[in-house]
Amino acid sequence: MDEYEDMMSAAPVEPHPHPPHQPLPPSPQPRIRTGRLWAGGIGTAGVTSLLVLVSILLVRGVFHIPVLAPARDGAYGTANTTSYALGAAVVALLATALLELLLDAMPNPLTFFYWITGLVTAAATILPFTVPADQNAQYATAAINLITGCAMISMLGSIAPGSIRSA
């Protein structure tokens, strides 16, 4: 016998934790507290909508940068401001649906959620620079999109652990 065979024959054999003829016990699957998750998602939709509204009032009213409408339309602007705020709420609800899907199906759902929503936020931040507009309005819109996206990601990411329970 050579050295390797001597070492292998001297090594103790450890028993398997579960004999091959017995199936492994089922692992508990996490259950989503759907009501809690969606309550957080609706709250996030409200906050992101208000954040967009306050941001536009700040940019238009204080900094006098005409975002979404000509400067003559005042601090609020036009119906575009309302559409932008409601759009932020819809995006937050879509992100909540994505989070629910990931919590139900993925092995590490928050990692995927942060990457997907982070990339969507990056795209929304870059988007204003792809359309013809005043440079100040582009920067202001990009800042609003970035701040709103980060707030939404932060809020939804923080409610996710509280909406899961072990079965």
Q: What is the pLDDT along the chain (167 residues), one digit of tens a residue?
A: 555 455 455 555 555 555 556 665 655 566 889 999 999 999 999 999 999 999 999 999 999 998 887 777 777 777 889 999 999 999 999 999 999 999 999 989 999 999 999 999 999 999 999 999 999 999 999 999 999 999 999 999 999 999 988 65
Q: How far apart are CA 35 and CA 118, in angstroms?
A: 25
pLDDT value of position 87 = 97
148 by Cβ neighbours in 10 Å (0-12 / 13-18 / 19+) ranks as buried
Q: How far apart are CA 159 and CA 145, in angstroms?
A: 21
In the chain, what are the domain boundaries? Answer: 31-162
